[in-house]
Structure 1
Amino acid sequence: MNNITETPQIPFKAPTTSRLKYWPKRGARLLRKLDISPGVFKTSVCTGPDVTRQWGCLFSALPAFINGYDNPALKAPEQRQQSALTMAEEDDARIRILQSLRGKICEAKNLGPVSGPNRQRDLCTFCTISLDQEEVFRTKVYDKSVSPFYGEDFYFEIPRPFQCLSFYVYAKSVFQRDLPVGKVSIRKDDLCKYSGKEHWLSLQPVDPNSEVQGKVHLEMRLNEVITENGSVGQHLVVRIIECQELPLISGQNCDPYATVSLVGPARSDQKKTKVKKKTSNPHFEETFFFEVTRSSSYSKKSHFQVEEEDIEKLEIKVDLWNNENLAQDVFLGETRVPVKILRNDHIHKAWYLLQPKGNGSKSKSDDLGSLRLKLTYIEDTVLPSACYTPLCNLLLKSPDVKPISASAAHILGDIYRERYEAVLPMVRLLLHHNRFVPFVSAVAALELDNTQEANTIFRGNSLATRCIDDMMKIVGKNYLAVTLKPVIDEICESNKTCEIDPVKLKEGDNVEVNKENLQGYVQKVFSSITQSSSTCPPLMCDVFRSLRHLACKRFPADPHVQYSAVSSFVFLRFFAVAVLSPHSFQLRSHHPDPEIARTLTLISKTIQTLGSWGSLSKKLSSFKETYMYDFFKSFQEDKCIEKVKKFLDEISSNVSKESSGLEDAVVLKEGEVQKRAQGRKRLGKKNFKKRWLRVTNRELSYHKQKGKEALCTINVKNIKAVEKLDESAFNRKNMFQVVHSEKPLYVQAGNCVEASEWLEVLGQVSRCNEGRLATFHPSNYTGGAWQCCKNQSNNAPGCKPCTTTMLANLQLDIDCDRETERIFSLLSSNDTKLQDMEDACASMAVYQGPQREQEEYSKFTIQEPKETFQTLKQLRNVMEELQRQHNIRNDTTAQYGSLNNPIVGKTS
Structure 2
Amino acid sequence: MANECCAPLEGAPETSQQQSLRLIDILDIKVVEARGLLVRPGGACLEHCVRCVIKMDNEEIFSTSVSAKTPNPYFGENLHFDLQKKFRLLSFYLFDHYPSRVARPLGRVTFRKEDIAKYSDQERWFKLQPLNGNSDVIGKVCLELSCERLNQDGSRHDGAYRLKVRLVDVCDLLLPASRKADVYALAHVQWEATGHCMATEKLRACQLQDSKHRANAAYFDLPSFTAELGQKLDEQEQAVCVGPNGNGSLFLRLSVWHDLPRSSSTFFHGEVRLPLMCPNQFDESKVAWYYLKPRLRGSERVSRAQGNDESTRNVETHGSLKLQLRYTVDHVLCSSHYNELWTLLLHSLNVQPFRASVLALISYLPKSESDRIVLPLVRTFVHSNHVKPFVCVLCSEEIVQCQDVNTLFRNCSFASRCIFELMKLVGHQYLVSTLKPCLDKIFQERKSCEIDPDRISPGQSLMDNSRNLIIYAESMIIRIVDSNHRCPQLLRDVFKVMRDVTAKYYPNRLDVQWLVLSSFLIMRFFAAALLNPKSFGLRQDLPDSDVSRTLALITKVIQRLSNFVVCGRKLSDKEAFMVPIWERFSDERHRIAFVKFFDRISCAGGESSTTCDSVTILKEGLLYEYKNISSDCFGRTCSSSKPRHCYLTENEFYWCKQKESTRLGQLYLADVVLIQPAERKNKGRRMFQVSTRKGIVCWEAVSCVEMSEWVALMKKTCQRQWLNTQQTGDCSQVFEIDAEHQLENIHLTLLRYIETFRLWKDFFEDQRSTLAQEFPMLQTFNEPSVRQVILQSLQSILCCTYTLEEKHSLALLNHFKQVKYGSKDLPIGDDNYLLLRSRLRKYTVPTCSRDEADTAATTGYIHDSVLSAEQATGASG
Does the aligned pair in 1 maintain the 2:610–2:721 contact within 8 Å? no
State the alpha-carbon separation in 1 of the partners of residues 437 and 733 from structure 2.
22
Query: Which residue, 161, 172, 177 being the options, matches 1:245?
Result: 172
Q: CA deviation at 1:568?
A: 0.9
State the alpha-carbon separation in 2 of the partners of residues 403 and 495 from structure 1.
54
Q: Does 1:132 align with 2:57?
A: yes
Query: Which residue, 561, 568, 579 being the options, matches 1:610?
Result: 561
Q: CA deviation at 1:668?
A: 5.3
Q: Which residue is equivalent to 2:541?
A: 590
Q: Which residue is equivalent to 1:858?
A: 776
State the alpha-carbon separation in 2 of the partners of residues 251 and 605 from structure 1.
61
Q: Which residue is equivalent to 1:63?
A: none
Secondary structure in structure 1 of the residue aligned to 2:215: strand
Q: CA deviation at 1:474?
A: 0.7
State the alpha-carbon separation in 2 of the partners of residues 765 and 213 from structure 1.
37
Q: Which residue is equivalent to 1:288?
A: 217
Q: Which amino acid aligns with 1:107?
A: E
Q: CA deviation at 1:809?
A: 4.1
Larger Rg: 1
Q: Are the structure 2 counterparts of residues 174 and 272 from structure 1 closer, same or farther at C-alpha, using a change threshold of 3 Å?
A: farther
Q: Does 1:325 align with 2:251?
A: no
Q: CA deviation at 1:476?
A: 0.6
Q: Are the structure 2 counterparts of residues 177 and 594 from structure 1 closer, same or farther at C-alpha, using a change threshold of 3 Å?
A: farther
Query: Which residue, 468, 473, 482 being the options, matches 1:517?
Result: 468
Q: Are the structure 2 counterparts of residues 861 and 459 from structure 1 closer, same or farther at C-alpha, using a change threshold of 3 Å?
A: farther
Does the aligned pair in 2 maintain the 1:221–1:346 contact within 8 Å? yes
Q: Which residue is equivalent to 1:547?
A: 498
Q: Does 1:148 align with 2:84?
A: no
Does the aligned pair in 1 maintain the 2:481–2:594 contact within 8 Å? yes
Q: Does 1:405 align with 2:392?
A: no
Q: Does 1:701 align with 2:627?
A: no
State the alpha-carbon separation in 2 of the partners of residues 444 and 248 from structure 1.
59
Query: Which residue, 666, 670, 683 being the options, matches 1:713?
Result: 666
Question: Which structure is higher in helix share?
Answer: 2
What aligned pairs does 1:423-442 form with structure 2 within 5 A after superposition? 423-442=374-393
Q: Does 1:176 align with 2:125?
A: no
Q: Deviations 1:302-342 (Å, cap 9, x if unpaired)?
A: xxxxxxxx993221212233542245433332221112255
Q: 5+ unaligned residues in a row in structure 1: which ranges?
A: 1-88, 116-121, 298-309, 771-806
Secondary structure in structure 2 of the residue aligned to 1:814: coil
Does the aligned pair in 1 maintain the 2:358–2:797 contact within 8 Å? yes
Q: Are the structure 2 counterparts of residues 211 and 173 from structure 1 closer, same or farther at C-alpha, using a change threshold of 3 Å?
A: farther
Q: Deviations 1:794-830 (Å, cap 9, x if unpaired)?
A: xxxxxxxxxxxxx974543211111111111222122
Q: Are the structure 2 counterparts of residues 323 and 414 from structure 1 closer, same or farther at C-alpha, using a change threshold of 3 Å?
A: farther
Q: Which amino acid aligns with 2:423?
A: M
What aligned pairs does 1:738-757 form with structure 2 within 5 A after superposition? 738-742=690-694, 744-757=696-709
Q: Deviations 1:749-772 (Å, cap 9, x if unpaired)?
A: 1112122333444556668999xx
Q: Which amino acid aligns with 1:98?
A: I
Query: Which residue, 432, 435, 438 being the options, matches 1:484?
Result: 435
Q: Which residue is equivalent to 1:223?
A: 148
Query: Which residue, 351, 363, 367 being the options, matches 2:289?
Result: 351
Q: Are the structure 2 counterparts of residues 204 and 843 from structure 1 closer, same or farther at C-alpha, using a change threshold of 3 Å?
A: farther
**Worse-matched range after superposition: 638-647 or 655-664:** 655-664
Secondary structure in structure 1 of the residue aligned to 2:474: helix
Q: Which residue is equivalent to 2:836?
A: none
Q: Which amino acid aligns with 2:168?
A: I
- What is the TM-score with the length of structure 1 in the denominator? 0.75
Q: Which residue is equivalent to 2:28?
A: 102
- What is the TM-score with the length of structure 2 in the denominator? 0.78
Secondary structure in structure 1 of the residue aligned to 2:70: coil
Q: Are the structure 2 counterparts of residues 716 and 258 from structure 1 closer, same or farther at C-alpha, using a change threshold of 3 Å?
A: farther
State the alpha-carbon separation in 1 of the partners of residues 224 and 122 from structure 2.
57
Q: Which amino acid aligns with 1:205?
A: P
Query: Which residue, 460, 464, 469 being the options, matches 2:415?
Result: 464
Q: Which residue is equivalent to 2:739?
A: 816
Q: Are the structure 2 counterparts of residues 672 and 500 from structure 1 closer, same or farther at C-alpha, using a change threshold of 3 Å?
A: same
Q: Are the structure 2 counterparts of residues 651 and 732 from structure 1 closer, same or farther at C-alpha, using a change threshold of 3 Å?
A: closer
State the alpha-carbon separation in 2 of the partners of residues 628 and 564 from structure 1.
23
Q: CA deviation at 1:498?
A: 2.2
Secondary structure in structure 2 of the residue aligned to 1:677: strand
Secondary structure in structure 2 of the residue aligned to 1:691: strand
Q: Which residue is equivalent to 2:852?
A: none
Q: Does 1:679 align with 2:633?
A: no
Does the aligned pair in 1 maintain the 2:251–2:275 contact within 8 Å? yes
**Worse-matched range after superposition: 489-498 or 410-419:** 410-419
Q: 5+ unaligned residues in a row in structure 2: which ranges?
A: 1-14, 42-46, 227-245, 301-310, 723-729, 832-877
Q: CA deviation at 1:471?
A: 0.4
State the alpha-carbon separation in 2 of the partners of residues 318 and 192 from structure 1.
30
Q: Are the structure 2 counterparts of residues 733 and 611 from structure 1 closer, same or farther at C-alpha, using a change threshold of 3 Å?
A: same
Q: Are the structure 2 counterparts of residues 725 and 101 from structure 1 closer, same or farther at C-alpha, using a change threshold of 3 Å?
A: same
Q: Deviations 1:851-891 (Å, cap 9, x if unpaired)?
A: x9834222459742221221222222222222122212212
What aligned pairs does 1:13-92 form with structure 2 within 5 A after superposition? none
State the alpha-carbon separation in 2 of the partners of residues 532 and 698 from structure 1.
17
Q: CA deviation at 1:92?
A: 6.1
Q: CA deviation at 1:414?
A: 2.4
State the alpha-carbon separation in 2 of the partners of residues 101 and 251 from structure 1.
33
**Worse-matched range after superposition: 637-646 or 363-372:** 363-372
Q: Which amino acid aligns with 1:858?
A: P
Q: Which amino acid aligns with 2:641?
A: F
Q: CA deviation at 1:97?
A: 1.8
RMSD: 3.8
Does the aligned pair in 1 maintain the 2:38–2:106 contact within 8 Å? yes
Query: Which residue, 246, 261, 269 being the options, matches 2:199?
Result: 269
Q: Which residue is equivalent to 1:889?
A: 811
**Worse-matched range after superposition: 426-435 or 199-208:** 199-208
Q: Are the structure 2 counterparts of residues 725 and 475 from structure 1 closer, same or farther at C-alpha, using a change threshold of 3 Å?
A: closer
Secondary structure in structure 1 of the residue aligned to 2:750: helix
State the alpha-carbon separation in 2 of the partners of residues 152 and 253 from structure 1.
38
Q: Are the structure 2 counterparts of residues 640 and 668 from structure 1 closer, same or farther at C-alpha, using a change threshold of 3 Å?
A: closer
Secondary structure in structure 2 of the residue aligned to 1:509: coil
Q: Deviations 1:128-173 (Å, cap 9, x if unpaired)?
A: 2222221101112212111111112222321111223222222114
State the alpha-carbon separation in 2 of the partners of residues 603 and 342 from structure 1.
77
State the alpha-carbon separation in 1 of the partners of residues 213 and 469 from structure 2.
65
Q: Does 1:526 align with 2:464?
A: no
Q: Are the structure 2 counterparts of residues 99 and 512 from structure 1 closer, same or farther at C-alpha, using a change threshold of 3 Å?
A: farther
Secondary structure in structure 1 of the residue aligned to 2:61: strand
Secondary structure in structure 1 of the residue aligned to 2:702: coil
State the alpha-carbon separation in 1 of the partners of residues 529 and 225 from structure 2.
79
Q: Does 1:867 align with 2:789?
A: yes
Q: Which residue is equivalent to 2:760?
A: 837
Count the aligned residue pairs. 752
Q: Which residue is equivalent to 1:13?
A: none
Does the aligned pair in 2 maintain the 1:406–1:862 contact within 8 Å? no
Does the aligned pair in 2 maintain the 1:105–1:372 contact within 8 Å? yes
Q: Which amino acid aligns with 2:805?
A: Q
Query: Which residue, 644, 669, 680 being the options, matches 2:594?
Result: 644
Secondary structure in structure 1 of the residue aligned to 2:597: helix
State the alpha-carbon separation in 2 of the partners of residues 114 and 611 from structure 1.
49
Q: Are the structure 2 counterparts of residues 731 and 820 from structure 1 closer, same or farther at C-alpha, using a change threshold of 3 Å?
A: closer
- Identify which of structures 1 and 2 has the higher relative contact order when contacts are C-alpha pairs closer than 8 Å and 6+ apart: 2
**Worse-matched range after superposition: 499-508 or 154-163:** 499-508
State the alpha-carbon separation in 2 of the partners of residues 543 and 138 from structure 1.
37
Query: Which residue, 619, 625, 628 being the options, matches 2:578?
Result: 628
